[in-house]
């Protein structure tokens, strides 16, 4: 029996607290808060959850957390707002550079992408 929460299949053999982190927007701390509130043991495996526990988790998440598509949309809109008001951070997002003050002379390869090959300068020959 596959356990689906907000359109995400949770891995059956993992503990519930780690299984819930497969939902975008729920980390380990949020998962532990949910389970504590619903009085579900952290050591329970996802496959061992009862239907009642699954529905209670589903209700708790849908009522109190912004997750998956809605969260992605919210993040996208926030970045677009920064771009539209032409803030420094928005400009960095447009250019694909780090937004949080990291150095870019070296490093920053994750944001900048692979190095481009250096173009060799032509030697200028002078006539005698």
Kindly list the domain boundaries of the chain, sorted by start residue: 3-65, 69-112
Please answer whether residues 74 and 66 qualify as being in contact, where contact means their C-beta atoms are separated by less than 8 angstroms. yes
| CATH class of the structural domain 3-65 | mainly alpha
List Cα–Cα distances, 16 to 29, 45, 49, 95, 113, in angstroms. 12, 5, 8, 40, 36
Res 126 pLDDT > 80: no
CATH superfamily, region 69-112: Ribosomal protein S13/S18, C-terminal domain (4.10.910.10)
- Residues 18-74 pLDDT 10s: 999 999 999 999 999 999 999 999 999 999 999 999 999 999 999 999 999 999 999
Quick one: three-class SS letters along the chain?
Answer: CCEEECCEEECCCCEHHHHHHHCCCCCHHHHHHHHHHHCCCCCCEHHHCCHHHHHHHHHHHHHHCCCHHHHHHHHHHHHHHHHHCCCHHHHHHHHCCCCCCCCCCCCCHHHHCCCCCCCCCCCCCCCC
Length of the chain, in residues: 128
What's the whole-model pTM score?
A: 0.77
Please report the pLDDT score of residue 124 as a whole number.
72
């Amino acid at each position: 029996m596959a356990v689906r929460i907000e359109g995400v299949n949770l891995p059956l053999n993992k503990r519930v607290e780690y299984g819930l982190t497969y939902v975008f927007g729920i980390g380990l701390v949020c998962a532990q808060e949910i389970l504590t509130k619903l009085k579900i043991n952290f050591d329970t495996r996802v496959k061992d959850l009862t239907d009642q526990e699954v529905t209670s988790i589903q209700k708790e998440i849908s009522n109190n957390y912004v997750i998956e598509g809605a969260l992605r949309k919210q993040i996208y809109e926030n970045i677009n707002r920064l771009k539209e008001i032409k803030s420094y951070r928005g400009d960095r997002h447009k250019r694909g550079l780090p937004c949080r003050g990291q150095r870019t002379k070296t490093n920053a390869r994750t944001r900048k992408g692979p190095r481009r090959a250096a173009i060799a300068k032509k030697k200028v020959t002078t006539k005698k």
